[in-house]
């Protein structure tokens, strides 16, 4: 098992479901990263959502 791993919250998944998936694989979250997602509409760039990634370490 890797010591650190990243888990991304999928499009049709809640944060709690992602954390549960992480726990089942034997990892504990240590950091949350949020990245904005933008899209281009004509000449404007507008927010389109966000990407949430958890950095996790293996539980011992």
> Any idea where the domains of the chain sit in the sequence?
4-58
Q: Is the pTM value of this prediction over 0.75?
A: yes
Cα–Cα distance for residue pair 18/23, rounded to 1 Å: 9
Cα–Cα distance for residue pair 6/10, rounded to 1 Å: 12
Res 60: pLDDT: 76
Strand ranges across the sheet with 27-41: 4-8, 44-58, 27-41
Res 27: pLDDT: 96
pLDDT digits (tens, 9 = 90+) for 6-55: 999 998 999 999 999 999 999 999 999 999 999 999 999 999 999 999 99
Res 2: pLDDT: 77
């Amino acid at each position: 098992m890797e010591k650190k791993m990243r888990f991304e919250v999928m499009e049709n998944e809640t944060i709690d479901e992602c954390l549960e998936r992480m726990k089942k694989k034997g990892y504990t979250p240590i950091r949350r990263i949020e990245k904005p997602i933008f899209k281009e509409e004509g000449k404007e760039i507008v927010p389109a959502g966000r990407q949430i990634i958890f950095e996790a370490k293996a539980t011992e």
